[in-house]
Amino acid sequence: MCVLLHVFLSFGRTERKAFQVTPVTNDDGSVTYQASSPDEVAIVNWTQSVGLTLVFRDRTRIELQTPSGSRISFEVLDIFPFTSESKRMGIVVKDSQTGEITFLQKGADVVMAKIVQRNDWLDEETANMAREGLRTLVMARKRLTAQSYEQFKKRYHEASVQLEGRNEAMGDVVREELEHDLELAGLTGVEDKLQDDVKQTLELLRNAGIKIWMLTGDKIETARVIAISTKLVARNQYIHEISKRESSLSRAMGCGDRAL
């Protein structure tokens, strides 16, 4: 249940005036979800299929319906939007019944692996999903005491009113106060289905002698599977892989990158 709660609470992020996942009631009474990302709709639909339903979402409150039919509500305290640089987003919520404050975060596995508590299975499972061509997302959480949250809010406010280097200072506060020793809550893998006629189109272009390049930010294993599924390369074709060599400093810090 805690993983399902995490999915809803973290997938309701806000960017300016747009809510990432919003339930919409249709004329026939059915509920559909609107979002800018099909990945998030897919995951929220999955949680609904196993009994946990998002029934309300606005800037300050999230309401869920459990499999038993009861409703639980959370107050949204803070939101830290996703950026292409950070490759993660976070949200701080407060349980309206218990008063418990929780910091929830989701992001790319290469980033989240450095933030969550040490574990043995995350790297292995993300690699397995990548080999299946799935886009992975890691979710984690951290319970906060009232005192630790107030300390964070004080430092965060002080950083937000700085005249110079404000964004950097705010990011430093989040990293120092929240983004460490998170409990790993779960891992999701979403299939990125091909659009209609992609395979046939690429095959026609290749037969016409047109060279095709695929640019992707996915893991190498995911990129390989997608390249084969789109028939960009033949299944038995040799793929030459060029990886960036890790420096001794990168290995010491545990942050080596690889590129295809």
- d(C-alpha 66, C-alpha 101), whole Å: 20
Please determine, for residue 210, whether its predicted confidence score (pLDDT) is greater than 80.
yes
Mean pLDDT, all residues of the chain: 79
pLDDT for position 18: 33
Strands (E), the chain: 14-15, 18-19, 22-25, 31-34, 53-57, 61-65, 71-80, 88-95, 101-107, 134-144, 183-191
pLDDT tops 50 at residue 259: no
Percent of the residues in the chain that have a pLDDT greater than 90, as a whole number = 26
Contact of 158 with 172, CB cutoff 8 Å: no
88 with 108: CB under 8 angstroms? Answer: yes
| Per-residue pLDDT, 103 | 94
Confidence bin at 180 (pLDDT 50/70/90): very high
Overall average pLDDT of the 145-160 stretch = 96
Q: Using one digit for the tens of pLDDT, what is the confidence trace for 80-111?
A: 988 878 888 899 999 999 999 999 998 888 88
Residue 52 has pLDDT above 70, yes or no: yes
pLDDT score at 250:
40
pLDDT at 9: 53
Task: Give the model confidence (pLDDT) of 118-146 as tens digits.
Answer: 888 888 898 888 888 788 889 899 999 99
Strand, coil or helix: what is 171?
helix
Q: Is the dihedral of CA 233, 235, 238, 239 positive or negative?
A: positive
At residue 245 the predicted structure's pLDDT band, cuts being 50, 70 and 90, is low
Q: What global pTM score does this model have? A: 0.74
pLDDT of residue 75: 93
Confidence of residue 200 (pLDDT cuts 50, 70, 90): confident
Range 68-106 burial, b when 16+ CB lie within 10 A, else e? eeeebebebbebbebeeebebbbbbbbeeeeeebbbbbb
The pLDDT assigned to 108 comes to 87
Which stretch of 89-93, 157-161, 198-202 has the lowest confidence by average pLDDT? 198-202
CA distances from 143 to 91, 110, 147, 173 (A): 12, 23, 12, 17
- Which residues of the chain are in CATH 3.40.1110 domains? 2-191
Antiparallel, parallel or unpaired: β 88-95 and 71-80 = antiparallel
Question: Is 254's pLDDT higher than 70?
Answer: no
Q: Provide the percentage of residues in the chain whose pLDDT is more than 70.
A: 84
CATH of domain 2-191: 3.40.1110
Instruction: Return the SS3 of 156.
Output: helix
Task: Pinpoint the alpha helices (H) of 67-121.
Answer: 109-112
Question: 3-class SS at 252?
Answer: helix
